[in-house]
């Protein structure tokens, strides 16, 4: 059973969720014979979040995050039956603006 980020708000857990999502997004992107723009977009956004939010510890407001990242919308529209992966994407998007305030864990 997946534990939502709001129930374990630590940087360590956020990074675990992010790494799992990157792994799955890469598998989706690489698993298609052709380049599916949505898969490429999700993968690239996750890498950008890792670089800017986690590694550089940049803080984003809700408005800034909404302009920069669309993974929340993509997850809502396209991953209804994806189980934990959809929840991972939701939590990653939601956690962007809280990451700088999270405990290390």
Q: What is the mean pLDDT of each run of 10 residues along the chain (105 residues)?
A: 96 98 95 86 97 96 96 94 92 96 94
Residue linked to tokens 């992966």: 85
40's tokens = 């490429």
pLDDT of residue 32: 83
Q: Where are the alpha helices (DSSP H) in the chain?
A: 11-31, 37-49, 62-68, 71-78, 84-95
19's tokens = 């790494």
Look up the pTM and report it: 0.93
pLDDT of residue 70: 97
* Residue 55 burial by Cβ neighbours in a 10 Å radius (0-12, 13-18, 19+): exposed
DSSP 81: T
């Amino acid at each position: 059973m997946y534990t939502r980020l709001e129930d374990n708000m630590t940087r360590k857990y956020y990074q675990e969720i992010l790494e799992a999502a990157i792994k799955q997004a890469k598998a989706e992107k690489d698993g298609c014979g052709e380049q599916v723009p949505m898969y490429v977009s999700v993968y690239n956004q996750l890498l950008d979040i890792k670089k800017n939010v986690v590694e550089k510890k940049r803080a984003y407001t809700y408005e800034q995050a909404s302009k920069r990242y669309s993974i929340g919308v993509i997850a809502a529209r396209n991953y209804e039956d994806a189980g934990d992966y959809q929840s991972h994407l939701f939590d990653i998007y939601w956690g962007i603006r809280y990451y700088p305030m999270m405990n290390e864990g």
